[in-house]
Amino acid sequence: MKRKHWLAWLTAIVVLFVPTTLDLKPAPVNLRAKGEQLIAKWLPTSTTQTKSQEKSDTSDKTPIESIVQGKTLSNTYYYHFAANMPSNAKQMFEDAVATYNATGVVHLVAGEGTAKENRITFFVYSKATSTASQGMIESGHGGPKIIERTGWGAYTVNHARAGLNVKYPQMAIKKSVAVHELGHALGLDHSASLSSVMYPVDHGRSVLSKMDINALKSIYPESSR
Ligand SMILES: [Zn+2]
């Protein structure tokens, strides 16, 4: 019946996104007592880790953003910069791109990409953080946006964004922040492990942990490469 044929050819587009994750980090100077308490909750008391700490860290899996779970995504992404990008912020994202490409798990290529391809837009914004007086500022935000087209010509793609808050350039225009926000864009969620680049408060970590790479591999399995 014609009607049935029509149904088979019907297509639908579903867009999934979560409000991009805001990232806080301690402000550099003049911390009030309240702020220090807040930071004490998040930051290690020492920057040197013992072997036993490293070992326990490896049991903390890096979580995956819920909207990315179970989706079949190509491991190739096209990335471009928003128009107002200062060169130093661009460089941080270029460094972050190189970090992820070095894993061999994802393949990030400069360019716009098409609607049917995975895309990442890098941007900057300027936002004063209301909690700055409590010792916390927002350093950036980023996240995936999943677009699913079903029916004829079905595809699933991620049109993600990753940004740095240039209101606080000393704190936000950093490779560690760019690596973290790009991690969100690719589908990684916050980790409780200090060795993860997805730890929610920036402490200068820009080297992907084994668990970070394993989480990436589970989003982008061998078959997608
Ligand atoms: Zn984050």
Residue 167 DSSP SS3: coil
Q: How far is the CA of 212 from the centre of ligand 1 (A)?
A: 13
Confirm whether 136 is domain-assigned. Answer: yes
DSSP track, 178-213: HHHHHHHHHTB---S-TTSTT-SS--S--SPPHHHH
Closest CA to 93 of 80, 107, 111, 74: 80
Domain total of the chain: 1
Confirm whether 53 is domain-assigned. Answer: no
Domain that holds residue 176: 23-28+63-219
What are the start-end ranges of the H helices in 65-209? 87-101, 169-172, 175-186
- Helix (H), strand (E) at residue 53: helix 51-57
Tokens 């606080």 sit on residue? 168
pLDDT digits (tens, 9 = 90+) for 138-174: 999 999 999 999 888 899 999 999 999 999 999 999 9
Higher pLDDT: 183 or 53? It is: 183
Q: How far is the CA of 131 from the centre of ligand 1 (A)?
A: 16
pLDDT on residue 18: 65
Q: How far is the CA of 62 from the centre of ligand 1 (A)?
A: 12
**Is pLDDT above 80 for 2?**
no
**Is pLDDT above 70 for 22?**
no
Question: What's the CATH code of the domain at 193?
Answer: 3.40.390.10
Q: How far is the CA of 31 from the centre of ligand 1 (A)?
A: 22
**Is pLDDT above 60 for 212?**
yes
Confirm whether 56 is domain-assigned. Answer: no
pLDDT digits (tens, 9 = 90+) for 101-143: 999 999 999 999 999 999 999 999 999 988 777 778 899 999 9
